[in-house]
Amino acid sequence: MNMYARFLYLAVGVASLSFTFATIGFGFGHTSDPSNCRECHARVYEEFTTTGAHANLTCGNCHQNSDLDYSIPISFNLSWLHAPADTPHSAISVKCVDCHPDVLDELQNESEVHRRFYINSRKLAISSNAACIACHTHADVDLRRMRRAYVSYTVSCDRTGYDVRWNESDELGMNRTGFGNT
């Protein structure tokens, strides 16, 4: 076989394989390699791959990060990437309630037991997932459990009878009794 024929076979072979992989490859998106994330997020990785309802998911299922590849240990000098080693990469997280909207519906109920915790967590936390993560992961959260020293109700009365409502505010308020015009 002469040189020209060998080159022709090689070219056709490479082209065929390229087309094949390119074609069947469509539909298979780039998936983030969890081991890259593990370099810096080892605790989260260990927890999610061993316990819980999300054990079959990979990091990329819920997170999308910037285009830099952070597979390199952070001790490595990243100056050539114009990315200081101590600069966290931009990342997007889906919200827990994105996939679990029923929880959000339940939290609309004023008597739902986690409602105040969720609302207050959202006011304070950097992520709206923090309230969920506090109890549904092993993440360290500084929780101070306190019980109420009192129970507060708002009671009103009209012609039809008493209307008793749970007072969610932390204010103790005053015991007041009023009567409507009769």
Partner 1 sequence: MIKKNLKYIILVLLIAVMLVTFTHGYLKTGKVVKVTATIEEAAVGGHTIPHITDINAGADRIKLLRYPTKDLPPNFPGVYVHVICASNRIEHWTSVPYTGPGTYNITAGLRFMPPDGTKVRVIVAVTDEKGNRIAMNTTDAVI
CB of 174 to partner 1, least distance (A): 34
What are the DSSP calls for the chain, one per residue? --HHHHHHHHHHHHHHHHHHHHHHHTT------HHHHHTT-HHHHHHHHHSSTTTT--HHHHEEE-SS-TTS-TTS--GGGT--TTSPPPEEE--HHHH-HHHHHHHTSTT-TTHHHHHHHHHH-SSTTHHHHHHHS-----------SS--EEEEEETTEEEEEE--SS------------
| Residue with Cβ nearer partner 1 (94 or 155) | 94
CB of 47 to partner 1, least distance (A): 20
Q: Specify the amino acid at residue 124.
A: L
CB of 153 to partner 1, least distance (A): 35
| Residue with Cβ nearer partner 1 (100 or 138) | 100
| Residue with Cβ nearer partner 1 (7 or 153) | 7
| Residue with Cβ nearer partner 1 (55 or 91) | 91
CB of 178 to partner 1, least distance (A): 38
Residues in contact with partner 1 by CB under 8 A are 1, 5, 9, 12-13, 15-16, 19-20, 22-24, 26-31, 60-62, 64-67, 90-95, 98-101, 128
| Residue with Cβ nearer partner 1 (63 or 114) | 63
CB of 88 to partner 1, least distance (A): 9
